[in-house]
Chain A
Amino acid sequence: MAQETTGVSAAWPLWEVFVRSSRGLSHVHAGSLHAPDAEMAVRNARDLYTRRNEGVSLWVVPASAIIASDPDAKGQFFESPQGKDYRHATYYTKSEGVKHL
């Protein structure tokens, strides 16, 4: 036999968990967990990250479905608009005669 299963962990994919608390406005990444499928992932997320509180919303996403930006390319990717004042409205002066702007 080529390869026996090495353990359950190997078979259970990783899920990322996003939680919106009862008074929260948006879902926030809370952490990750292992689960055999999406339904079980939601249930495990409830146990691990919400303690089954009411009024929360949970999103689970297979970690493999998330495409992350490249941390090594941070420089170029997130370069600040410093020195690019022309990108901001305040750079431009109001023309004479334009009212109520």
Chain B
Amino acid sequence: MDSATRITPGNALRPEDIAASELHAPEDVAEYALRLGDDALILAQRLGWWISRAPELEEDVALANIGLDLIGHARSFLTYAGTAWGKTEDDLAYWREETEFRSAHIVEQPNGDFADTIARQLIVSFFQYELYTALLESSDETIAAIAAKAVKEVDYHRDHSSQWVLRLGLGTDESRRRMTRSLEKIWPYVNELFVDDELVEKLDGVAVRPSSLKPAFDAKVGAVLAEAELQVPEVQPAPGGGRRGQHSEHLGYILAEMQVLARQHPGATW
């Protein structure tokens, strides 16, 4: 296969390339890829709900675009993770139980109103931008290649969410009230994103210590909020546990909807 040679900068890696390759992710790396993939997958599922429901046609397209970008990232990470266990991206997306998902709690938070969605998007996109930028240096070539493709898209997601934070923050009294409330509601879930654990310690050089991303995240998100004349909320962090498969009540409903067809027709192809 020539697919291994495709893992080069400037030659974007597709999930199909990974599936067709002879790659076998080491178990630990697969676990790590699962986290990255699950964050993207669950958030994409959340964003998909907005299609036909956004405040404007143009925004409908933008949210769908972001959702599709995230699905792309999820497909690559899950396909790569699957190489460790002989599983496909679909096996991993549709045939895992809630406790087997490794996504952070923030991505399973409800869409709420538009400001809630933008607040969630702001945090996740700024987090992912720092993460993927750092992962460009990963000693795992596949992780680095997926990150190289994703980081450009996530940069656009950052731009989109910060533009909206500015408009909602500096818009009407009502939009400002809602944006403020949305930030307060979502902020307890920020903490979990930046917690180091055994797995990332073990994957020194492959993974990125999330704690190392916090200063840049704080500075950049802080600058957006300052420009929008909004405060960084001071709230107690929520317990988290998503990386260990401990989820809030929201994830079960997301998965039930996402997986129902696949589970009703096991072995079907589409």
Question: What 0/1 readout, one digit per residue, does chain B (70-81) give for beta carbons within 8 Å of chain A?
Answer: 000000000000
Closest to A5 in B: B172
Given contacts A40-B163, A40-B167, A47-B65, contact A52 B156 (CB under 8 A): yes
Closest to A40 in B: B163
Q: Is A61 interfacial (CB 8 A cutoff)?
A: no
Chain A residues whose CB sits within 8 angstroms of the CB of B55 once the complex forms: 8
Given contacts A39-B163, A40-B163, A43-B160, contact A12 B56 (CB under 8 A): yes
Q: Is B198 interfacial (CB 8 A cutoff)?
A: no
Q: Which of A40, A44, A48 counts the most chain B CB atoms within 10 A?
A: A40
* A30-78 interface with B by 8 A CB criterion: 33-37, 39-40, 43-44, 47-48, 52
CB within 8 A of A34: which of B57, B65, B159?
Answer: B57
**Cβ contact within 8 Å between B61 and A48:** yes
**Cβ contact within 8 Å between A8 and B62:** no
Question: What 0/1 readout, one digit per residue, does chain B (182-225) give for beta carbons within 8 Å of chain A?
Answer: 00000000000000000000000000000000000000000000
State the CA gap A44–B54 with chains docked (Å): 14
Interface residues on B, range: 10 to 19
**Cβ contact within 8 Å between B56 and A43:** no
Q: Is B173 interfacial (CB 8 A cutoff)?
A: no
**Cβ contact within 8 Å between A48 and B156:** no
**Cβ contact within 8 Å between B159 and A8:** no
Q: Is B249 interfacial (CB 8 A cutoff)?
A: no
Q: Is B234 interfacial (CB 8 A cutoff)?
A: no
State the CA gap A43–B12 with chains docked (Å): 23
Chain A residues whose CB sits within 8 angstroms of the CB of B65 once the complex forms: 47
Chain B residues whose CB sits within 8 angstroms of the CB of A9 once the complex forms: 56
State the CA gap A59–B183 with chains docked (Å): 34
Q: Is B58 interfacial (CB 8 A cutoff)?
A: yes
Chain A residues whose CB sits within 8 angstroms of the CB of B58 once the complex forms: 33-35, 44, 47-48
Closest to A51 in B: B65
**Cβ contact within 8 Å between A43 and B163:** yes
**Cβ contact within 8 Å between A43 and B159:** yes
State the CA gap A33–B59 with chains docked (Å): 11
Give me 5 A-to-B residue pairs in the complex whose CB atoms sit less than 8 angstroms apart, sorted by A's number. A34-B58, A35-B58, A37-B167, A44-B58, A47-B58
